[in-house]
Chain A
Amino acid sequence: MFKKYSSIVLVAVALTLVLSIGVSFAQDSVPRGGTVVVNESPQGSWVRNFSPFAPNPLPGTTRVIYDPLVVYNPVDGGKPTWWLATGSKYSDDLKSVTFTLRDGVKWSDGQPFTADDVVFTFGLFQKFPALDRNGLLAFTDSAEKVDDHTVKFNLKSVYTQADIQIGGMFPVPQHVWSTIADPTTYTNDNPVATGAFTEVKDFSDQVYSLCRNTNYWQNGTDGKPLPYVDCLQYPAYTDNNAANLALINGEMDWGGNFVPDLDTTYVAKDPEHFHYYFYGGSPWVFMTNTTKKPFDDVKVRWAMDLAIDYNTISQTAENGYTTVDPLNASGIYPKWKDWVPDSVNKKIADMGLGTFNEDKAKQILDDAGYKVGSDGFRNMPDGTPIGPFKIQIVNGWTDVVTAAQIISQGFQDIGLNASVVTPDFGAWQTNLQQGTFDTSLAWSVWGVTPYDFYHNILGKDLIDDKGVSTGQFQPRIYSDDITKSLQDFLLTNDAAKQKDIVGQLADYYVTNVVSSPLSPWPSWYEFSTLHFVGWPDKNNNFSLGSPWDNNGTRVTANAIHCVDATSCGQK
């Protein structure tokens, strides 16, 4: 009798075992392996330099090799994705901020990552200011180790952007960098880091691969350490066309290329596998140089805003790529639209900002005294002609040049003698910084809160006494009230107060038509599902997708895996 039952029991046990293994296998297994071919942007040949402090490190260095303390994923609207740090807290007087570091993180050579490394890195900045890529020295006095996993940063004065800026720093291992005599010239050929891909394989001037860090701290859904893929391979391309050729030929899995007419050029070649997804990126604006007449008159700026054909620009210049809502005329990004006060939205509607209305534009100019002269172009109220002015944009950026031409046409229609000029990047940028431009298309800063946009466009602290801006593009409109508001924002950690201040900034921006937001420019991102899946797309936008996105690239790289077990490792 025992014999009869024992065989049944045996079968039952065996069946359970098989089923449970089968079930758990099906639930948690992710096909692992494979090499993903990536293009961040065409850069010619590679010169070996993996230092996170270099002004131009190789692609991947600050994206997948080194980790920041906190990741601010752009699609998360400023919410922090805790990375090497698991939390940060201001002291009650807001003069220091304490970061808690993650347990169990190791450097790629097996040594533990601790608060010592963070304190050491800040010490490097103090000794060599040239390394301070996040600008921490401006507001941080010192960094002290509280215990192995806690670091306290003491600030020079209250500065509530401190946690965001400190969060962006890349700690480097003390046991490696303390032996380097001059870190500013160290090319860090074999990086020791905490990222998912730290092993450099097969480096040549044409291609290199970044492969798996066997000591990586994050685990995948299958319980084993990430990443799922083995390596990221970066070929060098001299030109956008060459990169596009590789993309179309299916030789590239992950691209950040600008491709004209994507649907026919790229997707049509393999509609089943070739995809793209553009979450809106940097907001582009049209701005005038308000130190030049007639742009100092808000009525003129208002009329010009109404003469811009926003829809056509979006359709023609960017092929209607961006899938996010158009920019609010206050410049506040759609994901923060509840920061825009109702009063501001009403003002926008009353003024008609952000809409294309040539008749109203002409009306405004007529009423303000800018009458049309005998040559068909308008004159100043005193009769002198409004001289021909230029809209400048970078030579070769075809999508933006098209937008500029559409705008120029609109201005001509309302009687302003506008034309487009396309200097090279260096000259264009210098014109903007030195304030010698007439009008220009320019990108604006897209930060973690709306504060960054307004600070960069209205901040008087970003201009030196000779009128040269230290990197940002401004129409040169300032006011003492606004300067105070911008400073007040930095002194408070209270969300409600911050929203209030942003509301004031938005109101000023709209009332004075500081600049005209066009649309969020597409963040170029193409992906092929021929070999790898798990990509962010419009149904699952957990990350920006673009391989040049500072924050999200590491999130994307950790999520992708090969299509099935048989295709892994076979290319």
Chain B
Amino acid sequence: MSFLIRRLGFYLIAAFVAITLNFFIPRMMVGDPVTLMFARFQGRLDPHALASLKAAFGFVEGPILQQFATYLQNLAQGNLGTSVSQFPVSVAQVMGVGLGWTLRLAGTATIVSFLAGTLLGIVAAWRRGRFADNYILPLLSLLGAFPYFFVAMLALYIFAFQFGWFPVLHAYDLNIAEDWTSSAFLISVFQHSILPALTLIFTAMGGWMLGMRNNMIGILSQDFIVMAQAKGLRDRRVMLTYAARNAILPSLTGFAISLGFVVGGILLVEIVFSYPGVGYLLLSAVNARDYPLMQGIFLLTTFTVLLANLFVDLLYVLLDPRAR
């Protein structure tokens, strides 16, 4: 119990620090949102519009501590504020647009790559020096070593552009209306997600596989494994319930953190495949110095990571009796 309270206390402090840094760091960047927005039009906007824009965005001007106080007040009420670059739409609404897609694509890809990578890692460790260990592991590690956008663009060019096996852009066919009850729409979503998901999965799998394999090898050398085998337990049982169960613990922490970062968006995927999501939203928010939107996305990311960490902390206690 005291463990739980201590952990919660730690996370609360971490959350507060995150909120504060979240507010101040973007404002350290050179430039302010209003004049930036004006300049974006490259002389096509009437110069006199600047005064009107400044009037519209009074909420990002003023003494900084006052702005911080307002920000905290709003946050306590669950109000993330109004976006500057997408004025007058609220930050929550802007984020909601991309969040669904990001969670679906990045979430699925992260989970699948973790499961597949971990399973392969178990196999590679158990059958050391055989096929999985000698061929699959180096191949996946190689794929993971390339910069992601390189692999993605190559895949896009070869499989989508040249061979035409997959659609080139977007999350679904533009001529099908967005209707989650329609099977045509769902099929289109699935088709468009294959290439982005596969590139994500194959580049991430190598890391999980390597990590799991190394953890396993460490465990396999221990006495209790020999004991289990001596007792006559089936190989598979020893591999999974004895070795893997202990070996997976370090990987789980990494997995939790990855899940947390899922909400930060997968910027490179979104750029290469023109896939909607939170990553590009964040990039354009930074470019436009859209402080409220940046704060909203950063906040979501940090909170999710913290939550994921808390979750893993608790899970650890459950899985590993030694930690209790």
Contact = CB atoms under 8 A, between A and B. Distances in A.
Interface of A: 43-49, 51, 54-56, 129-136, 138, 165, 168, 184-187, 202, 204-207, 233, 235-239, 241-243, 245-246, 249, 282, 424-427, 429-431, 433, 443-446, 456, 462, 470-472, 548, 550, 571
B13 interface: no
Contacts of B46: 133-135, 165, 168
A550 B161 contact: no
A55 B87 contact: yes
- Identify the 10 closest CB pairs spanning chains A and B, nearest first: A135-B48, A426-B31, A242-B274, A130-B56, A185-B88, A204-B178, A130-B55, A445-B43, A45-B276, A207-B174
A131 B284 CA distance: 24
Q: Point out which of B31, B98, B280 has the most chain A C-beta atoms below 10 A from its C-beta.
A: B31
9 contacts: A44-B276, A47-B94, A132-B49, A134-B46, A134-B48, A135-B47, A205-B97, A246-B168, A282-B44
B10 to A, nearest CB: 36
Contact of B47 (A241, A245, A462): A462
Nearest to B270: A238
B49 A134 contact: yes
B86 A429 contact: no
A45 B271 contact: no
B88 A238 contact: no
B36 interface: yes
Contacts of B29: 426-427
B191 to A, nearest CB: 14
Given A242-B274, A471-B38, A44 B284 contact: yes
B318 to A, nearest CB: 39
Interface string B51-82: 11101100000000000000000000000001
Contacts of A136: 48
A204 B87 contact: no
Given A56-B87, A430-B30, A129 B51 contact: yes
B182 to A, nearest CB: 13
Nearest to B84: A55
A154 B289 CA distance: 38
Contacts, number: 172
A245 B284 CA distance: 21
A200 B273 CA distance: 26
A204 B50 CA distance: 31
Given A185-B88, A471-B38, A165 B43 contact: no
B106 interface: no
Given A427-B30, A445-B43, A470-B47, A433 B35 contact: yes
Contacts of A548: 44
A243 B43 CA distance: 24
Contacts of A462: 47
B20 interface: no
A433 B174 CA distance: 41
A430 B177 contact: no
Nearest to B98: A45
A425 B94 contact: no
A426 B174 contact: no
* Interface residue tally on B, bucketed by range: 35 or more
A206 B49 contact: no
Contact of A47 (B39, B51, B93): B93
Contacts of B85: 55-56
B187 interface: no
Nearest to A135: B48
Contact of A56 (B37, B50, B161): B37
Contacts of A235: 169-170, 174
Contacts of B32: 430
| Interface-central residue, B85, B87, B289, by most chain A CB under 10 Å | B87
Describe A's contact surface by its main secondary structure: loop
Nearest to A133: B49
Interface string B264-307: 00000011111111001100100111000000000000000000
A56 B174 CA distance: 23
B126 interface: no
Question: How would you classify the secondary structure of chain B's contact residues: helix, strand, loop or mixed?
Answer: loop
A132 B52 contact: yes
Contact of B42 (A433, A443, A470): A443
Contacts of B48: 132, 134-136, 138, 165
B171 interface: yes
B194 interface: no
B44 A429 contact: no
A245 B156 CA distance: 11
Given A45-B276, A56-B86, A242-B169, A446 B30 contact: no
A187 B49 contact: no
- Most chain-A CB neighbours within 10 Å: which of B86, B97, B171? B86
B234 to A, nearest CB: 51
B294 to A, nearest CB: 12
A444 B53 CA distance: 20
Contact of B36 (A233, A242, A425): A425
A239 B275 CA distance: 10
Contact of B88 (A46, A186, A470): A186
B132 to A, nearest CB: 37
A245 B31 contact: no
A186 B44 CA distance: 24
Interface in B79-105: 82, 85-89, 93-94, 97-98, 101
Contacts of A46: 97
A249 to B, nearest CB: 6
A43 B36 CA distance: 16
A284 to B, nearest CB: 10
Contact of B168 (A44, A187, A249, A444): A249
A241 B280 CA distance: 14
Contacts of A207: 170, 174
Most buried by A among B32, B42, B82: B42
Contacts of A206: 170-172, 174, 178, 276
Given A133-B46, A245-B161, A184 B56 contact: yes
A426 B97 contact: no
A425 to B, nearest CB: 6
Contact of A429 (B35, B177, B281): B35
Given A47-B93, A55-B37, A135-B52, A426 B30 contact: yes
B271 A236 contact: no
A77 to B, nearest CB: 17
A220 B277 CA distance: 41
A187 B169 contact: no
Contacts of B270: 238
Nearest to A456: B47
A412 B169 CA distance: 44
Interface string B238-274: 0000000000000000000000000000000011111
Contacts of A550: 44
A471 B287 CA distance: 17
Contacts of A184: 56, 88
Nearest to A462: B47
A241 B178 CA distance: 25
Given A426-B287, A427-B29, A472-B47, 16 more contacts: A47-B97, A132-B49, A135-B48, A168-B46, A236-B274, A237-B169, A282-B43, A425-B39, A425-B40, A426-B36, A427-B31, A429-B31, A444-B43, A470-B47, A471-B39, A548-B44
